[in-house]
Amino acid sequence: MNSTSVCGARRASRRVRLSRVAGVLLTFLAVQAFAADNPIPRPPGLERDVRFWVRVYTEVTTNGGFLHDDRNLGIVYETLTFAPNTSPRERQKIVDAARDRYAAALKRIATASGPLGPDDQRIKDLWGAEGTPSRLLEAANGIRFQLGQADRFREGLIRAGAWEAHIAEVFANRGLPNELAALPHVESSFNPSAYSKVGAAGLWQFMRSTGRRYMRIDASVDDRLDPFRSTEAAAQLLSYNYRLLGTWPLALTAYNHGAAGMRRAKEAMGTDDIEYIVRNYKSKTFGFASRNFYVSFLAALEIDRNPEKYFGSITPRPEVKFREVAVPSYVPIAALQRALDLDMETLRELNPALRPLVWKGQRHVPKGYRLRLPYDADQWTTELLAQRLAPTEQYAGQTVERRHRIAPGESLSSVAAKYGITTAALAELNGMSPTAKLRAGGMLVVPSAPAPTLAAAATSSPAARPAVEPEQPEGNVYIVRSGDSIYEIARKTGMKESEILRLNRLRNPNYIFEGQKLILAAAPSEPAQEASQPETPAAAASRPARRRSTRPVTQPKPIVVASAEVAEGVAPAEAQRESEEDAEAVEKVGESAEQAQPVSAAQAEALGPALGPAIEVPQTADPIDYSVAQDGTIVVVAEETLGHYAEWLGIRASRLRQVNNMKYGRPVLIGHKLKLDFSKVTPEQFEQTRREYHRALQASYFAAHRILGTEIYIVRRGDSLWTVTQRFARLPMWLLQQYNPDVDFSEMRAGTELLVPKVEELATDG
């Protein structure tokens, strides 16, 4: 070969090598670009888990299931199939017998020294290199049964057609990944009327406490059951989770496990890598359901994108189309049905958010409610509907509720007998189970009388009538009204301003707000106490957002305290009861989630509509960690005072000052650590009381307010937490902290970016 040929060969070889390098580089860049553009990643390390859930959703119906390892989902010991007429008890016996058989085999294999039988060898081969003796012994206690869901998933694919277009539009408008539209497959199998055992409801399975942040949920309307309203709420919650956690895998897992839980997991692991967290994070509440929520979603997404591959031809339901008309006043549903000339079944199908009491005629359709009508119906307007309704069919307000205070020893049946209704009717009126146990001192709604009709009411509209002034209690207590100031209160009561401030331990005369209770005389035997005194959770829960006095005053000095001076009041009975029920649901789920493994379709429906395992922690949007650290400290959050901590610990506030070397009068600061004294209560008891306080606080607020969206606020020079909340009406400190949990409010600097929720006050039926 001559030199020219050699040089040519070398150049050709160099071009080949450069071409290969360029190809590898382009492939790498393409993968990186795909990863950056793919908000819903599917990590290779989680593929075996995804494949397991694809099998659950497509291979086996609720007449069978998989016996598998609860950690390594690639290990499926056996597919069990039940005869359709097999009772749940018999199914459970079959599952238990199979579980015992495989547990014995794993122990036998782990300790075997000689050849194995065919069945044992098959099991050992399933484990491969991971099947060490210690791992097999561990696996003997981790055998789990997963009921098949193919029939339920197929039904969900058919139902989904009714709302897919709306979900896609809502998510696109909010800039959310379109993949998130598959989430209802996992949550409810696209069943808008689904209820779970722990109180979650609707297409997106909202708990009351979370749903009330974004929707109307009361005795007349439950928007969780409206696929359209609840979709808009789900988009808000998912956006909120993403803002807090930074990745969609974590945001989706938080939809199941809670924002606070996933923030804690991310912090503990030091990463937002979903695969690393799923494989390594250990927590009492981060169990099988939480570990598998994201991978089950990925499986549902794959099937949703390729339904024919798994189920053959599918004909989805047609898209739901409708018209809307705002109801002109409070109107019985029967009157609307007559005026609109529609059958009741059509109205009920189009308006699933209206509660049963409305359909039974015990409550009216609320004024302003956007009633859905068939798409081909006449184009009704509010004015035309008002003309078609008789004056006696239009009411100025909702039916007037009466309330019964529960006495010791009373039950639902005994209270129902007093008011001449059935136990079931009383339970439904209060949104509880007929077998629920009553707590002495609580309140029950009992049969009510109708409100006056518009014809009999005052000529002015309800909106035009002046608001009713709050009733002033007898004795030495004054409830602050809108427009009040310390000066005006002193003038009305004949007291000195300084005396009112002293009796109520107020350091700032301008720091009062509507609804606050002011003491006008000291109790004869009451000793002087510290400035920051605790409230009961019920009282603190109901206090309204801070408002400035309308009397011109000088700008008060900004303070950054955990709400040291707060208004008291009585929490609305419904909000208080619902917060208690949500708390009970959390406890029940925590006790039984890992044991709740249904073996039949009926049991699966009873536990809940989710196609995955029973959840460990009911959904919550509160990202704040209320737990006690191992060193006995907590981080102070909004709406907490030294007095609160002293009450919850059963000690004096002075003891906490001593433990923390705090001077008298110095407030606790949001975001700062505080050492606690657990000589009277356990950390677990303290945590429970603390959480119940915040649940009640939030339940009361969201009974009257709703979040519409968010906006960005840039902190200015001189701003504090207090001044920022004053810029936005009806915004409490704790809600601002929830939307900005990583901001140090005691050290806010000019230029800090805050995410501020836009809040509206709800029109209520009360």
Q: What positions carry a catalytic annotation?
A: 187
Q: How far is CA 176 from each of CA 180, 181, 304, 324, 400, rounded to the nearest angstrom?
A: 7, 9, 18, 27, 42
Shortest CA distance to 300 belongs to which of 188, 170, 143, 195?
188
Sequence-distant (6+) residues with CB within 8 A of 119 are 105
Rounded-to-integer distance, Cα 640 and Cα 663, Å: 18
DSSP 623-650: ----PPPTTSEEE--TT--HHHHHHHHT
The vertex-199 CA angle with 195 and 204, nearest 5°, equals 55
Relative to beta strand 477-479, strand 517-519 is antiparallel
Secondary element (H or E) of residue 542: none
Shortest CA distance to 52 belongs to which of 287, 257, 286, 298?
298
Rounded-to-integer distance, Cα 582 and Cα 587, Å: 9
Shortest CA distance to 505 belongs to which of 492, 516, 515?
516
Shortest CA distance to 91 belongs to which of 595, 614, 613, 603?
603
Q: How far is CA 579 from each of CA 197, 242, 688, 693, rounded to the nearest angstrom?
A: 16, 25, 13, 10
Relative to beta strand 633-635, strand 673-675 is antiparallel
Sequence-distant (6+) residues with CB within 8 A of 235 are 170, 171, 174, 176
Residue ranges of the alpha helices (H) in 174-226?
Answer: 183-187, 208-211
Shortest CA distance to 397 belongs to which of 335, 456, 471, 338?
456
Rounded-to-integer distance, Cα 234 and Cα 224, Å: 10
Residue 328 DSSP code = S
Sequence-distant (6+) residues with CB within 8 A of 715 are 724, 748, 749, 750, 751, 752, 753, 754
Supply 578's token pair. Answer: 């619902």
How crowded is residue 441: how many other Cβ atoms within 10 Å of its Cβ?
10
Residue ranges of the alpha helices (H) in 112-226?
Answer: 118-127, 133-139, 150-160, 164-173, 183-187, 208-211
Cβ 252 vs Cβ 293: under 8 Å: yes
Cβ 604 vs Cβ 65: under 8 Å: no
